[in-house]
Structure 1
């Protein structure tokens, strides 16, 4: 298949999933309401625990103002919600129902199909996110980017952040080829992902050993890194370098895991 045809096929997969997700608009609205409540509650918590001076000392001696912290929490939660709105049921459902056989018969690779399908699901959330963002900023806290360069760097860093998030989700879902009971694994992944991504607590407030651990994990490249660039707390090019490195590593891991999973499917089918 020619590259143009392959790209058209992947775009078609994303389009189908986008339309499928838009059928459940009511569900999205309730989830957005939950997101806004989460943002508001976290703002109350940070307002209560912050020093009366309005600034706190982060890891490494950096002074973090309350306004910066509130802006971080608001943007990080919205961004994390958007990037992880594709769901975790694509591959388990196909394995459980046997429709994975149809996916394997297509002239494009199965992992790529799943990544593009989840990309379509994420794209379906964009209109709802745009509508809800002003309310999120109202109950949370709005703050312009640190500079024009920071705004450009933030937009640039979102591209690899989306890819890393999609690859991580696909990798975790691959466990469905080894076990049909995946709910426990997905719950653990959701907790670890949200915490180490810095969606609840930014890395600059984590203990030294925990921050080092988080910095060596790919999760922070999806949420903390872009938001830190936006607020001027991280360099653009260093962030992009780490993100691109994780993109390459996760792509190789996904290819290796699919190579093993494909042989697992042959064993089950035989």
Structure 2
């Protein structure tokens, strides 16, 4: 991600640059909490989704203790984790970049002492962090209905937060890349709909990778989406252990580096297309 902010970092002290990005994140965090109806509605829908997934998986297991070696408790815990993670690692709204491009506000953004990709990425992270209070309430609910469980091991407990941060960064970089497509198309709503379906499916948020047919699972493992949902959940539940945990975290780190580099390249091309359309 440092590559995204190289031009701004060269002109400012690191501490000043960090404060500027934190200010961008703080503004979006407050904006997310401003829309209380949408905020509370998403909270209610998330609790309903957790309960429904628990009911569905119990019905699918139909009294059996295990399916393909996986117990019902593990499956309901996986469904709960991926649901909670989705509300944290995924932006609660589409990237604001396309709207700012259409309205010409991007010209104002470029005058700020913080690089444009850095502003947008910090804002996305600030908006996503508004999910934390909701998750703190949802966790006891999940445990109450039997949809949660403790980490599989001490190592899993320590590795899970790291994997969750990795998932957050991978997903936000993907969102940043999608948003920057608007410099060529002005509108990304169609691409966003397709992206959400592909990302949710191949991330393992809808169906765990271990239930996917061989070719589809192989494709999912080669795409970055599995790093946003499956990886942290699999680490937490002990589906990857020992050296496998380090390998999973390494894959996340590799995707962060690759996507950050790609975002820097796309921005170097996108900035040439900036033109003021008003605002």
Are residues 1:78 and 2:84 paired?
yes
Q: Which residue of structure 2 aligns with residue 4 of structure 1?
A: 15
Shift of 1:267: 9.9
* Cα gap change, 1:221 to 1:205, in 2 (>3 Å): same
> Is the contact made by 2:203 and 2:225 (CA closer than 8 Å) also made in structure 1?
yes
For residues 1-270 of structure 1, what are the structure 2 equivalents within 5 Å? Answer: 1-50=12-61, 52-57=63-68, 63-139=69-145, 141-234=147-240, 235-265=244-274
Looking at structure 1, the residues matched to 125 and 248 of structure 2 have their Cα atoms a distance apart, in angstroms, of 22
> Is the contact made by 2:21 and 2:119 (CA closer than 8 Å) also made in structure 1?
yes
Shift of 1:132: 2.3
Structure 2 residue runs without a partner (length 5+): 1-11
Give the match's secondary structure for 1:200.
Answer: coil
Instruction: Report how many aligned residue pairs link the two structures.
Output: 264
Shift of 1:225: 0.3
Shift of 1:172: 0.8
Give the match's secondary structure for 2:70.
Answer: strand
Shift of 1:246: 0.3
Shift of 1:86: 3.8
**Runs (4+) off by over 4 Å:** 266-269
Q: CA RMSD of the aligned region, Å?
A: 1.7
TM-score by length of 2: 0.90
> Is the contact made by 2:104 and 2:277 (CA closer than 8 Å) also made in structure 1?
no
Structure 1 residue runs without a partner (length 5+): 58-62
Looking at structure 1, the residues matched to 190 and 181 of structure 2 have their Cα atoms a distance apart, in angstroms, of 11
> Is the contact made by 2:95 and 2:124 (CA closer than 8 Å) also made in structure 1?
no
TM-score by length of 1: 0.93
